[in-house]
Structure 1
Amino acid sequence: MNRVFGLFVLAMVMVACDTEIENISLQVPVVKDAQYYENLRAYKKSDHQLAFGWFGGWKAAGTSPVKYLRNLPDSVDVVSIWGTWHSLTQAQMEDLKYVQEVYGTKVTFTIFSHNMSNFPGNFENVAENIPAVAKAVADSVFKYGYDGVDFDHECSSGDLFNKSVNMTTLLREMRANLGEDKLICVDGYIEKITEEGWKYANYAIAQAYGTTAPSFLQSRFNTVSKHISPERFIVTENFESLWSTGGAGYKDPELGTIPSLLGMARWQPEEITEKQHKGGIGSYHMEYEYNHTDVEYKYLREAIQIMNPAKK
Structure 2
Amino acid sequence: MKRNKSNKIFGALLPILTMALLVSCTDVESIDINRPGLEEQSPELYAKYLENLNAYKSSDDHKVAYAWFDNSVKAPYSRAHHISDIPDSLDVVSMMYPADLAEFELADMAAVRRKGTKVVYTISFDRIQKEYTDKVKEGVETGVFSTYLKAEVDRLISYESSFDGIIAEYKGKNPIYMSAADKEEAKANQDIFWGAVMAWKQANTTKFLTFQGYPENLIGQSVLTECRHIILATDDVDAVEKLSVVARQAMLSASTPTDRFVVAVSTVSMDAADTKTGFYDKARAIKEAAYWITESSADYTKAGIAIYNIQNDYYNADAIYPYVKEAINIMNPSPRK
TM-score, normalising length from structure 1?
0.74
Q: Which residue of 52, 56, 79 corresponds with 2:93?
A: 79
SS for the counterpart of 2:211 is strand
Instruction: Compute the displacement of 1:204 (Å).
Output: 2.4
2:157 alignment counterpart:
138
SS for the counterpart of 2:11 is coil
SS for the counterpart of 2:314 is helix
Instruction: Compute the displacement of 1:64 (Å).
Output: 0.4
SS for the counterpart of 1:88 is coil
Compared CA separation, residues 304 and 231, structure 1 to 2 (3 A):
farther
Counterpart of 2:208, as a letter, is: L
Instruction: Compute the displacement of 1:172 (Å).
Output: 3.6
Q: Give 1:262-281 correspondences, 5 Å limit.
A: 262-268=287-293, 271-272=297-298, 277-281=301-305
- The separation in 1 between residues aligned to 2:156 and 2:192, in whole angstroms, is 14
- The separation in 2 between residues aligned to 1:147 and 1:97, in whole angstroms, is 11
1:107 alignment counterpart:
119
Alignment pair present for 1:291 and 2:279? no
Q: Which residue of 23, 36, 46 corresponds with 2:59?
A: 46
- The separation in 2 between residues aligned to 1:94 and 1:308, in whole angstroms, is 28
CA contact (8 A) 2:258 2:301 kept: yes
- The separation in 1 between residues aligned to 2:302 and 2:231, in whole angstroms, is 11
Q: Give 1:229-268 correspondences, 5 Å limit.
A: 229-239=257-267, 241=269, 247-249=278-280, 258-268=283-293
Instruction: Compute the displacement of 1:53 (Å).
Output: 1.1
Q: Which residue of 166, 170, 179 corresponds with 1:153?
A: 170
SS for the counterpart of 1:174 is helix
Instruction: Compute the displacement of 1:39 (Å).
Output: 1.0
Instruction: Compute the displacement of 1:220 (Å).
Output: 0.8
- The separation in 2 between residues aligned to 1:113 and 1:56, in whole angstroms, is 19
1:163 alignment counterpart:
186
CA contact (8 A) 1:107 1:148 kept: yes
CA contact (8 A) 1:49 1:307 kept: yes
2:28 alignment counterpart:
none
How many matched pairs?
A: 284
CA contact (8 A) 1:18 1:40 kept: no
Instruction: Compute the displacement of 1:298 (Å).
Output: 1.3
Pick the structure with greater CA Rg: 2
Q: Which residue of 104, 107, 110 corresponds with 1:94?
A: 107
- The separation in 1 between residues aligned to 2:316 and 2:233, in whole angstroms, is 23
Q: Which residue of 202, 206, 222 corresponds with 2:232?
A: 206
Q: CA RMSD in A?
A: 3.9
SS for the counterpart of 2:329 is helix
SS for the counterpart of 2:317 is coil
Instruction: Compute the displacement of 1:36 (Å).
Output: 0.3
Taking every aligned residue pair, what percent have the same amino acid on both sides?
24
- The separation in 2 between residues aligned to 1:215 and 1:270, in whole angstroms, is 14
Q: Which residue of 42, 65, 70 corresponds with 2:84?
A: 70
Compared CA separation, residues 96 and 161, structure 1 to 2 (3 A):
farther
Counterpart of 1:220, as a letter, is: V
Instruction: Compute the displacement of 1:267 (Å).
Output: 1.7
- The separation in 2 between residues aligned to 1:258 and 1:117, in whole angstroms, is 32
- The separation in 1 between residues aligned to 2:267 and 2:145, in whole angstroms, is 35
Instruction: Compute the displacement of 1:75 (Å).
Output: 0.6
Per-residue CA shift, 1:105-154, capped at 9, x if unaligned? 111112331347969xx9x6554686665554433202xx2112223435
TM-score, normalising length from structure 2?
0.69
Instruction: Compute the displacement of 1:60 (Å).
Output: 6.3
Counterpart of 1:22, as a letter, is: P
1:253 alignment counterpart:
none
Q: Which residue of 238, 243, 248 corresponds with 1:222?
A: 248
